[in-house]
């Protein structure tokens, strides 16, 4: 007796129950078709102890033997797609994939199984998305992670809407491989109710992979239990239908095998009843458990035959381990390219297997740069060896028809400071050093001339030494030709600049403090500070900075961290991306330690500004550099503020950062040394000596803040001629 459900649950259950209620007793229900009907119908049949045997439903939920102890099928269930997919991924070298599926057990069961088996198969699930009406968001998420291998499980309408959105957002091409179910007929794209044309949908689907249970044994000439081969059976089938293939005829083979399995099980049960000496016959079945169990055991133990779909031998879940067919969209055609066989341990390719249309141009933007092969940020492996200068070894620089990769290979390119920029900045720094040495030579040679003597030549030498240290900090940079560790570069650059700054400006301000102290003291001679005392003050400032740096590197030393410049990535091809990387010195407590160093230098400059203001009325330039110091402080402050802001913005551009920071240091240092020493050199050239008077500073005021009359002090007569030059 037969019935047609039209894949409607209510209709299907109603027709089956009508026949069950009519005599004679039904022993089993064979060839249940639609999955949406099979699951609820099976719940009803269980109550009647009826065996259900299907040749078309592959629903995963029917594997549950507690709920469906009497369900059998002659088609591979959906769960068998999971090992088949992983076998193909292993064959093609894919390890990363994304999943998009509709809600409901029909689709979510397989994809959840894929996710659960990912670790076991050494694979990574990039994302799992539930397909909703808002497919735009799903595609945006896939584009964001550059999903290349995408498994899609959905009904035709929703699947085509998703494919159309892929087209609209441009996430398609020979490097993007979709994989979906093979339920749909060859012309399923014509059913699209989307904004895309069929040609556009096929453009996205080109080279996509279809998986599904194999409905015919690969060798069509292999004889089956009926004595017919697949080819002979198909010929008879077409003859019966006047050469046509009616709707759902694709399932003719497993349905035919289901009938054979039913017949063999009934025959085995009948023989078992006779062997036991039982008086019962199959006709005596009254929906009782005993005979239903005998029929079930016969299907497990006595049914094993070569069917049209393959070897029918039911496992513990009532399913035979049949082959999985692999198809590929090739233009407007969908072709069989292989079978996953031997219980999903091997693949038998058909007509050479899949075809691909990938073209890889390998030309690095910076072929001389150091290359780090990196697997991260959705990156994968390549089927060929990579060489930064000649591209893909074994395939040449131009590769056609290679298997698409599951994700791009990211070539990490270590960026370094440009050698030309490094040479230019060092030449400028060397010029500054030579100039400082020239000033130092003038300072030492003319140290007994009153013009130089009154400006404290020993302290001037300290200032110039500090300038040389500041210039020297530019020699240390992350240049490829310099074989010095990056951490050493960071340390030398920091130490030289801080020590140079504190030496130069500390000496400058200490000298001004001595002038301030002289002019605010009544006992002029006895309050004068010797050069040795001033040098000790400067060394004390340097020591404080050194202690902070030393504590910093002991407590929380620099660590070298590679920073990926993702916003500067260069797409070389669909397979390769060049990712610039820079090395940075990082310290967890750098904010506190660097803040302390900046604070000390800032306080030093603020104190210098105060002293320059207080001594501004001392008119003898040889003795007092207050105005020049004020100009230096202004220049350094402006450069520091401007540099801090700009360097924060350009910190990821190695050339700009090095060039700008070194330029600030060199220009600031050069301005300071020239402002202080060029006037002295000009005066010496003109033959000038110390003349004039010194006016009392603004701090020498009466208690009522009224200026008092101060007699001019003849500096020449107040200088005590000692070996340490006390003023």
Task: Give percent above pLDDT 90 in the chain.
Answer: 29
Please give the distance of CA 476 from its chain centroid, rounded to a whole number: 31
Query: Is 405 buried (19+), middle (13-18) or exposed (0-12) by CB count in 10 A?
Result: buried
723 pLDDT tier (thresholds 50, 70, 90) = very low
Instruction: Read off the pLDDT of each residue in 391-410 and give the average, rounded to a whole number.
Output: 58
Taking CA atoms, 137 is separated from 75, 165, 202, in Å, by 36, 10, 22
Which of 85, 83, 120, 84 minimizes the C-alpha distance to 99?
A: 85
**Alpha carbons 292 and 281: distance in angstroms, whole number:** 12
Residues 187 and 263 in one domain: no
* 1 falls within a domain: no
Residues 499 and 569 in one domain: yes
- The mean-pLDDT minimum among 327-331, 400-404, 561-565, 680-684 falls in 400-404
Q: Which residue has the higher pLDDT, 517 or 77?
A: 77
* 381 falls within a domain: yes
pLDDT single digits (tens) 247-273: 778 889 999 999 999 999 999 999 998
Which of 697, 715, 726 minimizes the C-alpha distance to 613?
A: 697
pLDDT higher than 60, residue 568:
yes
* 316 falls within a domain: no
Task: Give percent above pLDDT 70 in the chain.
Answer: 81
pLDDT at 37: 83
- The mean-pLDDT minimum among 94-98, 305-309, 331-335, 645-649 falls in 645-649
Which of 149, 159, 151 minimizes the C-alpha distance to 188?
A: 159
**Element (H or E) spanning 581, and its range?**
strand 576-586
**Alpha carbons 622 and 664: distance in angstroms, whole number:** 28
Q: Which residue has the higher pLDDT, 656 or 34?
A: 656
Which of 703, 506, 677 minimizes the C-alpha distance to 607?
A: 506
Residues 404 and 258 in one domain: no
Residues 487 and 578 in one domain: yes
- The mean-pLDDT minimum among 3-12, 194-203, 360-369 falls in 360-369
**Alpha carbons 292 and 269: distance in angstroms, whole number:** 10
Residues 392 and 533 in one domain: no
Domain that holds residue 374: 359-413
pLDDT at 719: 35
Query: Is 352 buried (19+), middle (13-18) or exposed (0-12) by CB count in 10 A?
Result: exposed
pLDDT at 150: 95
Identify each DSSP E strand in 627-704 by its residue range.
none
- The mean-pLDDT minimum among 141-145, 166-170, 328-332, 675-679 falls in 675-679
pLDDT at 634: 66
* 2 falls within a domain: no
Specify the number of domains making up the chain.
4
With contact defined as beta carbons under 8 Å apart, do 480 and 675 qualify? Answer: no
For the chain, give the mean pLDDT.
80
**Alpha carbons 404 and 356: distance in angstroms, whole number:** 7
Taking CA atoms, 286 is separated from 41, 68, 276, 468, 533, in Å, by 19, 20, 19, 108, 118
CATH of the domain at 584: 1.20.1070.10
Residues 484 and 374 in one domain: no
**Alpha carbons 432 and 61: distance in angstroms, whole number:** 81
* 634 falls within a domain: yes
pLDDT at 701: 40
425 pLDDT tier (thresholds 50, 70, 90) = very high
**Alpha carbons 313 and 319: distance in angstroms, whole number:** 8
Instruction: Read off the pLDDT of each residue in 284-307 and give the average, rounded to a whole number.
Output: 90
- The mean-pLDDT minimum among 349-363, 589-603, 656-670, 688-702 falls in 688-702
With both helix axes pointing from N to C terminus, report the angle between 486-519 and 531-555 in degrees, rounded to the nearest 10.
150
pLDDT at 421: 93
Residues 528 and 647 in one domain: yes
Query: How far separated are the first and last CA of the chain, in Å rounded?
Result: 127
pLDDT single digits (tens) 216-246: 988 888 899 999 999 999 999 999 988 888 8
Report the relative pairing of strands 71-73 and 51-54 from DSSP bridges.
parallel
Residues 238 and 208 in one domain: no
Which of 110, 179, 195, 183 minimizes the C-alpha distance to 147?
A: 179
pLDDT higher than 70, residue 435:
yes
Residues 156 and 255 in one domain: no
pLDDT higher than 50, residue 67:
yes
* 705 falls within a domain: yes
pLDDT single digits (tens) 122-178: 999 999 999 888 889 999 999 999 899 999 998 888 899 999 999 999 999 988 999
With contact defined as beta carbons under 8 Å apart, do 506 and 604 qualify? Answer: yes
pLDDT at 481: 77
Query: Is 366 buried (19+), middle (13-18) or exposed (0-12) by CB count in 10 A?
Result: middle
Residues 444 and 536 in one domain: yes
Report the relative pairing of strands 177-181 and 209-213 from DSSP bridges.
parallel
pLDDT at 402: 81
How many other β-carbons are positioned within 10 Å of the β-carbon of residue 363? 11
Per-position DSSP letters for 160-196, written without gaps between them: HHHHHHHHHTT--STT-EEEEES-S-TTGGGG--SSS
Residues 83 and 138 in one domain: yes
DSSP state of 330: E
41-55, 645-659, 680-694, 698-712 — which one is most confidently predicted on average? 41-55
Residues 227 and 208 in one domain: no
CATH of the domain at 140: 3.40.50.2300
- The mean-pLDDT minimum among 324-338, 379-393, 415-429, 543-557 falls in 379-393
How many other β-carbons are positioned within 10 Å of the β-carbon of residue 258? 26
Identify each DSSP E strand in 1-103 by its residue range.
28-30, 51-54, 71-73, 96-101
* 725 falls within a domain: no
With contact defined as beta carbons under 8 Å apart, do 509 and 604 qualify? Answer: yes
* 645 falls within a domain: yes
With contact defined as beta carbons under 8 Å apart, do 131 and 138 qualify? Answer: yes
How many other β-carbons are positioned within 10 Å of the β-carbon of residue 199? 9
How many other β-carbons are positioned within 10 Å of the β-carbon of residue 443? 22
pLDDT higher than 90, residue 437:
yes
pLDDT at 34: 77
């Amino acid at each position: 007796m037969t019935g047609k459900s039209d894949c409607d649950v209510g209709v299907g259950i109603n027709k089956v129950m009508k026949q069950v209620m009519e005599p004679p007793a039904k022993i089993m229900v064979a060839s249940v078709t639609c999955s949406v009907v099979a699951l609820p119908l099976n719940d009803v049949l269980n109550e009647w102890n009826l065996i259900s045997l299907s040749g078309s439903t592959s629903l995963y939920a029917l594997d549950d033997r507690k709920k469906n102890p009497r369900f059998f099928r002659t088609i591979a269930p959906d769960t068998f797609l999971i090992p088949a997919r992983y076998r193909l991924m292993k064959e093609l070298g894919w390890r990363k994939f994304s999943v998009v599926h509709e809600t409901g057990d029909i689709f979510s069961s397989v994809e959840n199984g894929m996710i659960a088996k990912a670790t076991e198969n050494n694979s990574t699930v990039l994302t799992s998305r539930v397909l909703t009406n808002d497919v735009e968001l799903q595609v945006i998420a896939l584009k964001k992670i550059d999903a290349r291998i995408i498994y899609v499980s959905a009904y035709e309408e929703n699947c085509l809407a998703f494919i159309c959105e892929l087209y609209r957002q441009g996430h398609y091409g020979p490097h993007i491989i979709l994989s979906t179910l093979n339920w749909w007929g060859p012309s399923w794209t014509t059913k699209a109710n989307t904004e895309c044309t069929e040609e556009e949908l096929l453009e996205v689907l080109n080279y996509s992979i279809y998986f599904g249970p194999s409905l015919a044994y690969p060798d069509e000439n292999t004889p089956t239990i009926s004595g017919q081969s697949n080819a002979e059976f198909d010929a008879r089938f077409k003859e019966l239908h006047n050469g046509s293939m009616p709707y759902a005829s694709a399932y003719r083979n497993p349905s035919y095998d289901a009938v054979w399995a039913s017949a063999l099980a009934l025959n085995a049960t009948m023989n078992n009843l006779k062997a036991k000496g039982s008086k019962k016959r199959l006709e005596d079945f009254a929906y009782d458990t005993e005979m239903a169990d005998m029929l079930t055991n016969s299907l497990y133990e006595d049914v094993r035959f070569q069917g049209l779909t393959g070897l029918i031998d039911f496992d513990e879940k009532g399913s035979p381990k049949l082959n999985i067919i692999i198809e590929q969209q090739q233009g407007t055609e969908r072709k069989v390219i292989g079978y996953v066989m031997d219980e999903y341990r091997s693949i038998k390719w058909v007509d050479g297997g899949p075809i691909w249309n990938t073209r890889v141009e390998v030309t690095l933007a910076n072929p001389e740069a150091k290359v780090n092969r990196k697997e991260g940020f959705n990156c994968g492996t390549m089927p060929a060896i990579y060489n930064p200068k000649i591209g893909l070894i074994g395939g040449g620089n131009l590769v056609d028809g290679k298997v698409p990769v599951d994700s791009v290979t990211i070539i990490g390119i270590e960026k370094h400071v440009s050698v030309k920029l490094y040479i230019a900045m060092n030449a400028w720094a060397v010029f500054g050093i030579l100039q400082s040495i020239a000033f130092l030579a003038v300072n030492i040679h003319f140290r007994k001339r009153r013009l130089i003597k009154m400006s404290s030549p020993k302290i001037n030498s300290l200032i110039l030494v500090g300038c040389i240290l500041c210039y020297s900090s530019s020699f240390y940079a992350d240049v490829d030709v310099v074989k010095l560790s990056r951490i050493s570069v960071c340390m030398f650059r920091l130490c030289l600049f801080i020590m140079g700054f504190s030496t130069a400006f500390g000496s400058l301000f200490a000298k001004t403090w001595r002038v301030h102290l002289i002019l605010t003291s009544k006992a002029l001679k006895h309050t004068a500070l010797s050069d040795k005392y001033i040098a000790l003050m400067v060394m004390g400032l340097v020591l404080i900075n050194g202690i902070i740096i030393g504590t910093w590197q002991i407590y929380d030393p620099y660590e070298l961290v590679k920073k990926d410049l993702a916003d500067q990535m260069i797409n070389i091809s669909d397979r390769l991306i060049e990712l610039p990387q820079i090395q940075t010195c990082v310290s967890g407590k750098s904010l506190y330690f660097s803040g302390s160093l900046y604070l000390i230098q800032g306080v030093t400059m603020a104190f210098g500004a105060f002293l320059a203001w207080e001594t501004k009325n001392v008119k003898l330039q040889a003795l007092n550099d207050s105005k020049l110091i004020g100009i230096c402080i202004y220049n350094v402050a402006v450069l520091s503020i401007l540099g801090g802001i700009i360097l924060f913005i350009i910190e990821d551009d190695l050339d700009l950062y090095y060039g700008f920071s070194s330029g600030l240091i060199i220009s600031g240092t050069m301005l300071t040394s020239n402002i202080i020493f060029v006037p002295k050199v000009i005066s010496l050239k003109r033959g000038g000596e110390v003349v004039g008077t010194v006016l009392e500073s603004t701090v020498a005021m009466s208690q009522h803040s009224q200026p008092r009359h101060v007699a001019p002090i003849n500096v020449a007569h107040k200088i005590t001629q000692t070996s340490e030059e006390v003023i």
